[in-house]
Amino acid sequence: MGMLENSLNKETGRRSEEEVGLTESPVYQLVPWCFVAGCMPFFSCHLLFPTECRDEFRRLMTELCSETLILTFEICHTDVKTTFCSFLSGLGGTCVNVGCIPKKLMHQAALLGQALQDSRKFGWQFTEEVKHNWMTMTESVQNYIGSLNWGYRVALRDKKVTYENAYGEFVGPHTIKATNKKGIEKLYTAERFIIATGERPRYLGIPGDKEYCVSSDDLFSLPYCPGKTLVVGASYVALECAGFLAGLGLDVTVMVRSILLRGFDQDMANRIGEYMKEHGVNFIREFVPIKVEQVEEGTPGILKVTAKSTAGDQMIEGEYNTVLLAIGRDPCTRKIGLDKVKVNINEKTGKIPVNDEEQTNVPYIYAIGDILQDKLELTPVAIQAGRLLVQRLYAGATTKCDYVNVPTTVFTPLEYGACGYSEETAVEKFGEENIEVYHSHFWPLEWTVPSRDNNKCYAKIICNIQDNERVIGFHVLGPNAGEVTQGFATAIKCGLTKEQLDSTVGIHPVCAEVCIQNHLKAHGILG
């Protein structure tokens, strides 16, 4: 096994170039600026830009994830020529290939199944039983992702961005070594660097996890129906995957170590868990797997999971066709030579601390995206941070990224949209006596005819009493929660108050209408 294959095996657990999707490496070029960026399904890639030959290239980047693509296109508005260095195929990074895009499409597949059930009450008649075909879905999803990959490649060409295939790591101040799949090494120097290497799935470190378990990265292109599935974890990825798998008619169990959706509003998180449980998702609370064994080979086969209680010595066992690990992701920062240039990282998490301008402790090195310490791990946040960073570096702008008033949506069966503070963080920052919570349940009109769940959809706003009841937190559970939240996010950034919300005329009859009728006072989980 060669040097590059050794690196691949250590970083990804894959032993061949084919398994990680390497592409041909183009001819080396010198450039005057450098990005170290992007994480793909199983590995990290890097963006590079040396300082010599300013007339040749001004920037060279590695790894074509969403934020680095946006960085490239943003730079193309200036006179800076750009080169892109990516170690893997699949332009667009985690979000496009193994994240937001396939996740939302499979969530939509599950919603369509529910819509088919509802349609009978609206007069639609079916003469045959409706079934779901996993392979048809995954093939369609992967075909669409492939079209996005191709579109990005065409866009890079149209913008005259040189696309190269190499793995980069710092070897000294202002210097990166780029190694292609043939093991050919080139040195690049640059005045500034941007690190955007992203993250990759975390494993449990127990017997059988890497041999028999899959991650969400694997699930979206799994070449067979997963069957009876154990989802390990309580992150939004875990609950989203569990939700759409159950929506497709599969037997799904979620094993939770402690709480659901850590970092999100816990009132809303618990409501999501209750809804999923009522709709067929099983939950095993306060247990963690300690061993995974193969009982029977196959696609899928049969796996036996042994788990231990986190509250005592109780042990349980269960058999499943697929075990999906969704316990978080680790930043790709430990093997890119950051120690050679003295960039500080959190030794426990691998995250990189930065100031409010995404600058590390080394003045000429910046970082964006999921690898940042104490920042939201969301693709749109990374894109916004990257865009604003480029504008500050090249266009004289001064606007900094807002990491607080960030809208996001968890695509569980009952979608959850949020922007701003949770109740917990609002109390911590402003004090319980200084916040007020307004809330209301609602029943979507489209749920009434098929007699679907009443009083399960829910909305609440959190207001700062000491600041004219300014809305500092927005939370909604219900259909199309992301669409609802996106509009309110702009109002919140503009300083929306409760009085302004009350004075807004609602659109009837839509789900978002409830958000201007939050007239009931409550202290929710904090009371």
Q: Is 503 exposed, middle or buried (0-12, 13-18, 19+ CB in 10 A)?
A: exposed
Contact 500, 471 (CB under 8 A): no
Which DSSP category does 313 fall into? S
Which DSSP category does 349 fall into? T
Give the sign of the dihedral formed by CA 193, CA 6, CA 233, CA 281. positive
Active-site choice (441, 508, 519, 523)? 508
Cβ neighbours of residue 356 closer than 8 Å, sequence gap 6 or more: 400
- Could you tell me how far CA 291 lies from the centroid of its own chain? 27
Judged by DSSP in three states, 491 sits in helix
Cβ neighbours of residue 228 closer than 8 Å, sequence gap 6 or more: 250, 251, 252, 319, 320, 321, 322
Query: CA neighbours within 13 Å on the CB side: how many for 457?
Result: 23
Give the sign of the dihedral formed by CA 317, CA 318, CA 322, CA 325. negative
Of residues 390, 389, 447, the one with CA closest to residue 413 = 447
Neighbours of 259 (CB within 10 A): 14
Cβ neighbours of residue 459 closer than 8 Å, sequence gap 6 or more: 439, 440, 442, 475, 476, 477, 478, 514, 515, 518
Cis peptide before 353 (omega within 30 of 0): no
Q: Is 154 exposed, middle or buried (0-12, 13-18, 19+ CB in 10 A)?
A: exposed
Q: What tokens were used for 234?
A: 């309580």
Which DSSP category does 119 fall into? H
Could you tell me if residue 59 is left (phi over 0), alpha (psi between -120 and 50 degrees) or otherwise beta?
beta
Strand order across the 185-189 sheet: 167-172, 175-179, 185-189
**What is the phi/psi pair of residue 118, to 5°?**
-65, -30
CA angle 493, 496, 497 (to 5 degrees): 150
Q: What tokens were used for 112?
A: 């369509």
Is 279 tagged catalytic?
no
CA distances from 155 to 29, 163, 383 (A): 20, 11, 17
Point out the residues that are catalytic.
Answer: 508
